[in-house]
Structures are given as structure tokens and as C-alpha cells.
Amino acid sequence: MSERGRLAMLLAALLLLAPVAWQVALALPAFGFPTSAYGQTINALVPHMRRVSNMVAAVNFDVRGFDTIGEELMLLAATTGATVLLRGSRGENIGDRAARLPGRHLAGRADGTVLVCRAAAILLMLFGVYVVLHGTVTPGGGFQGGVIVASSLLLVYLGEGYPAWRRIARAPVLALVEGLGAFAFVVAAAVPLAWGRPALSNILPLGTWKDLFSGGTMVVVNAAVGFAVAGSFGLILGEFMEETRGPEDEDMPDEEHR
């Protein structure tokens, strides 16, 4: 179909659906006055049932934890797919130097950048671990903290360059961390099942209100998700960075002017 035909079909469809969308927008409950009682019930009951103060983490890892297993495995599948696709067609003669387009100027790395990245990467990784650990108490949790830890790995790449970064963030270690995270989540769901309780029941002691280790099984699941997300994003970023490397036997200087 030609380009104008596609655009005409899209505009016709949007024109047909616009009054329908308007009627639906008018029929939904008014913005700011929701009518559903499920959320308010959770806000009223769960702080005492599970002794946690972060309701979002309680919903994610306990009340609707089964959906989060699905999301976690979706993350695993997407990472595996991207890794297999990129590794499978890369070839053998890829080296450590960045692929260069002819005629492009190569700027070296400034000393200020290296210093700031070295300090900030460590601080950011500590912050990411803090966000994961306090997932059941303050806003945060495994998903957010995992992404923050993965972006601290990026600061290492900015400050140190590609070869040093690959030595620090090794792909087998990241894959192991990711797999262990997903496995721990599934184990936390399967152990109550083996004892005759419903899957993902909270079988550990619940702890005290606003304490770091409150919530029972939520602590284990939270840490597992943090590991899995950090490992997944580290692997994905590593694979994409390796795509930008050039062949090994080029005799042009790379970004370190070696």
C-alpha cells in the first residue's frame, strides 16, 4: 500500500473513532473522583496486615505478586531475545576499539569527566542499593533500584572507557545475577506451594512497622527483583555497546589515542 493510502486509512480510522473516544471520555469517572473501592481497601487494610508502609511495593510483591512474576519473566525473555539476536550475528573479529566513520574527529576524555564519573558511579550504585533495600518502607523497590544500579554501570563506561568497563561488568557475572534474581522469585513462590499453602504466601515473620526488614517474603522478593533488573539492564547495555565496536585489525587510533 502506498504511503498516502496508509495515511488516508489512518485518518479515516481516527475520524471514525474520535466521537467514540469522546463518549468514552465522558463516561469514565471524573478525574480525581475514582469510584473503585479496591485501592482504598488496600490503603486501609494492608498497613496492619503486612506491617509495611509502601503500599505500592506491597501490591507489587505480595497482594498482586503473581502478576509481578509474569513481568519478571517477561523481562528475562526480552533480555534473552535481545542478547541472542545481537550475539548471534556479530562475527568473530570484533575488537575493543570503537568503530569509526572516516573523517570524524575523535575527542579524548577530559580529566574532569573521569573524576566526576568515578565518584558519581560509586555513589549512584550505593544509592541504587539503598533504594532496593528500603523498598518496603519508602518509595522505591526492586525495579527502580535495579535500573539505578544499571545506570551507575553506564557512568563507569563514561569514565573509564570500553575495555576497563568490560573488565568490571562481565557478561557471565551479570547473567548469573539476573538468573539468580528470577530463580529466587520463583522459589519464593514455590516454597509455600510445596507446603500446601497458596503460592507466594507470606511465610516469613512480618517484622515491625517502618522497619527495614518488614513484610516477610516481600523482602526476599524485592531483593530478587532488584538483582534481576540490574542484571538484565547491564546485559542489554553491554550487548548494545559491543555492537558499536569496530573490527580488530584496523590501524586507526581508538578513543584512548592508543
Q: Which of residues 158-217 bind other proteins (CB under 8 A)?
A: 210
Check if the beta carbon of residue 177 is closer than 8 Å to that of residue 231.
yes
> What is the closest distance, in whole angstroms, from the C-beta atom of residue 7 to other proteins in the complex?
6
Packing angle of the helix pair 142-160, 217-243 (nearest 10 deg): 30
For 144, the grid coordinates are: 527502580
Q: State the nearest-atom distance from the C-beta of 143 to other proteins, in Å.
A: 5
Distance, in Å, from the CA atom of 81 to the CA atom of 137, rounded to the nearest integer, reads 34
Q: Report yes or no: 136 and 214 within 8 Å, Cβ to Cβ.
A: yes
Q: Is the dihedral of CA 221, 227, 228, 229 positive or negative?
A: positive
Nearer to other proteins by C-beta: 117 or 229?
A: 229
Smaller CB separation from other proteins, 186 or 196: 186
Q: Taking CB under 8 A as the rule, does residue 10 contact other proteins?
A: yes
- Which residue in 174, 200, 221, 237 binds other proteins (CB under 8 A)? 237
Per CB under 8 A, 107 contacts other proteins: no
- Chain positions 118 to 157 lying near other proteins, rule: CB under 8 A, are 131, 137-141, 143-144, 146-148, 150-151, 154
Residue type, 109: R
CB of 22 to other proteins, least distance (A): 8
C-alpha cell at 116: 566526576
Q: Is 250 in the site for other proteins (CB under 8 A)?
A: no
Q: Is residue 53 part of the contact set for other proteins (CB under 8 A)?
A: yes
Q: Is 78 in the site for other proteins (CB under 8 A)?
A: yes
Place of cell 579524548: 108
